[in-house]
């Protein structure tokens, strides 16, 4: 290594450290798309891959920990949330992820209310404000005004049905460096209007209409984006339209830092603050898509990234997190909590903060 990296062992659990067969995957920069390229030692083996349709897995009898209980797993790809739920209700699926809009009706349904399960994940949903494209968003006062005009509690309570935890900071619970109490940006519409006026846009006059990009076909994402836009209109007089994009097109533009305003998530690759504060928002971070740059912030993160003292790392990251929240290139909205429908006949599933562990002990009864 070129320098101390106290988070290095965590990185080894991430796909960037996975072993692959160079004879089968000639270009490791490209996606694996065929069974022949996917050489591994996991609990299941690929039986069939129909791209964007279905993946069929069969138990690996030679798995080092013993053959899994399940003989096979079928993973259909169904992009539409209502179709997924319908197939679950008719008995075609044993497990599906839910959109928040469906939870209340399912909780009221005696046949399915006990099937709902919740799982906290190390991920944060946020509004990204690109500091390098639109002139108003280059101004920290404008960004802070927009942050102060968002009522996160109302979004979590009313839009998301109270399932998720409001995010005051960047680092989610369960990640090294997380704090219950950060120097959070308060919901303060009056102060937000004052800041916006100081920036030259009294009551939103002269402020350009904003366009918020987001991934399509995900109702929760659209609902939160709509709620944020409505609050900006109500509290600041700023108009916002939504721009849903196909996921591939969205990522392509976001990777080029071409989206002025967007709503998305970041989930931990490994459970360390470096993977959030440095990776996402330091000028040297390879996932900094908002053109945020502050030398003091960079210095704090660089020191924390390499310190061998866990308490010093926490202190430095805390200072960095408070600083970046005050300049608002991100508006954290909520921490992710997945809601899933799982049939009572599914037994033996193992969990981690990252998600369901390999289904070595899972069984499905009649």
pLDDT for position 119? 96
| Residue 93 covered by a domain | yes
Do 173 and 271 belong to one domain? yes
Location of structure tokens 């591994």: 40
Same-domain check for residues 299 and 322: yes
Tens digits of residue pLDDT in 32-74: 888 888 888 899 999 999 988 999 999 999 999 999 999 999 9
pLDDT tens per residue across span 110-122: 999 999 999 999 9
State the total domains in the chain.
2
CATH assignment of the domain containing 88: 3.40.190.10
Quick one: 44 and 134 in the same domain? Answer: no
**Torsion angle defined by CA atoms of residues 36, 42, 44 and 47, in that order, rounded to the nearest 10 degrees:** 0
Q: Is residue 1 part of a domain?
A: no
Looking at the DSSP assignment, which residues form a beta bridge with residue 352? 355
Inside any domain, residue 2: no
In a domain, 3, yes or no: no
Pair 214, 327 in one domain: yes
Dihedral sign for Cα 48, 49, 50, 55, please: positive
Write the DSSP symbol of residue 263: E
Per-residue confidence (pLDDT) for residue 287, from 0 to 100? 97
Convert the pLDDT of each residue in 277-334 to its tens digit: 999 999 999 999 999 999 999 999 999 999 999 999 999 999 999 999 999 999 999 9
Q: Are residues 170 and 133 in the same domain?
A: yes
Q: What is the pLDDT of residue 13?
A: 86
On whether residue 91 sits in a domain, the answer given is: yes
Any idea which of 5-9, 18-22, 81-85 has the lowest mean pLDDT?
A: 18-22
Do 104 and 161 lie in one domain? The reply is: no
C-alpha span between 270 and 8 (Å, rounded): 9
In a domain, residue 202? The reply is: yes
d(CA 291, CA 29): 25
Tell me: do 114 and 135 sit in the same domain.
Answer: no
Give the residue from 233, 205, 225, 241 showing the smallest Cα distance to 149: 233
Domain boundaries, position 170: 121-337
Q: What is the mean pLDDT of residues 356-362?
A: 95
332 with 347, same domain: the answer is no
pLDDT for 33: 83
Residues 185 and 333 in one domain: yes
Phi, psi of 243 (to 5 degrees): -130, 85
| Co-location of 303 and 360 in the same domain | no
Which domain CATH number covers 161? Answer: 3.10.105.10
Please indicate, yes or no, if residue 80 is contained in any of the structural domains.
yes
Q: pLDDT, tens digit, for every residue of 200-239?
A: 999 999 999 999 999 998 888 999 999 999 999 999 999 9
Q: Which two tokens stand for residue 63?
A: 């798995």
Residue 237 within any structural domain of the chain = yes
Packed helices 189-198 and 219-236: angle between N→C axes, nearest 10 degrees:
70
Q: How many CB atoms lie within 10 A of CB 143?
A: 27
Residues 245-273: tens digit of each pLDDT: 999 999 999 999 999 999 999 999 999 99
- pTM of the predicted structure, to 2 decimals: 0.90
Rounded percentage of the chain residues whose pLDDT exceeds 70: 100
Q: Using an 8 Å Cβ cutoff, are 348 and 68 in contact?
A: no
Q: Do 267 and 330 sit in the same domain of this protein?
A: yes
CA distance 270 to 7: 8
3-state secondary structure of 332: strand
* Residue predicted with more confidence, 366 or 189: 189
pLDDT level of residue 185 (50, 70, 90 thresholds): very high
pLDDT at 89: 97
Q: Is 55 exposed, middle or buried (0-12, 13-18, 19+ CB in 10 A)?
A: middle
Could you say which DSSP state residue 210 is in?
A: E
**Are 90 and 139 in a shared domain?**
no
What's the whole-number average pLDDT of the chain?
Answer: 95
Q: Which residues neighbour 230 within 8 Å (Cβ) at sequence distance 6 or greater?
A: none
pLDDT at res. 171: 98
Residue 23 φ/ψ region, left for φ over 0, alpha for ψ in the -120 to 50 degree band, beta for the rest? alpha
């Amino acid at each position: 290594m070129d320098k101390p990296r106290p988070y290095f062992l965590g990185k080894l659990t991430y796909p960037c450290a996975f072993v692959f067969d160079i004879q089968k995957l000639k270009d490791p920069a490209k996606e694996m798309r065929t069974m022949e390229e996917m050489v591994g030692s996991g609990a299941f083996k690929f039986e069939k891959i129909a791209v964007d349709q279905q993946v069929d897995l069969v138990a690996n009898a030679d798995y080092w920990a013993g053959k899994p209980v399940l003989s096979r797993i079928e993973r259909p790809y169904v992009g539409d949330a209502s179709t997924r739920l319908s197939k679950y209700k008719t008995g075609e699926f044993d497990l599906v992820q839910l959109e928040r809009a469906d939870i209340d009706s399912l909780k009221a349904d005696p046949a399915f209310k006990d099937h709902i399960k919740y799982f906290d994940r190390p991920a944060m949903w946020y509004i990204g404000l690109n500091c390098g494209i639109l002139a108003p968003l280059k101004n920290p006062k404008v960004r802070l005004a927009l942050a102060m005009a968002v009522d996160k509690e109302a979004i979590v309570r009313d839009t998301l049905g109270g399932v998720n935890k409001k995010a005051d900071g960047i680092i989610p619970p369960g990640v090294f460096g997380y704090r219950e109490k950060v120097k959070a940006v308060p919901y303060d519409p009056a102060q937000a209007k004052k800041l916006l006026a100081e920036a030259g846009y009294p009551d939103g006059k002269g402020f350009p209409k904003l366009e918020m990009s987001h991934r399509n076909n995900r109702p929760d994402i659209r609902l939160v984006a709509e709620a944020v836009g409505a609050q900006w209109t109500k509290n600041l007089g700023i108009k916002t339209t939504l721009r849903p994009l196909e996921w591939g097109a969205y990522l392509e533009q976001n990777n080029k830092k071409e989206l002025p305003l967007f709503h998305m998530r970041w989930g931990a690759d490994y459970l360390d603050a470096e993977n959030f504060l440095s990776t996402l928002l330091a000028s040297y971070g390879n996932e900094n898509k908002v053109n945020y740059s502050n030398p003091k912030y960079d210095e704090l993160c660089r020191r924390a990234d390499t310190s061998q003292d866990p308490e010093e790392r926490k202190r430095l990251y805390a200072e960095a997190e408070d600083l970046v929240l005050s300049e608002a290139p991100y508006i954290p909205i909520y921490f992710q909590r997945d809601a899933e429908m799982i049939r009572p006949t599914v037994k033996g599933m193992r969990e981690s903060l990252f998600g369901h562990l390999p289904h070595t002990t899972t069984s499905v009864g009649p």
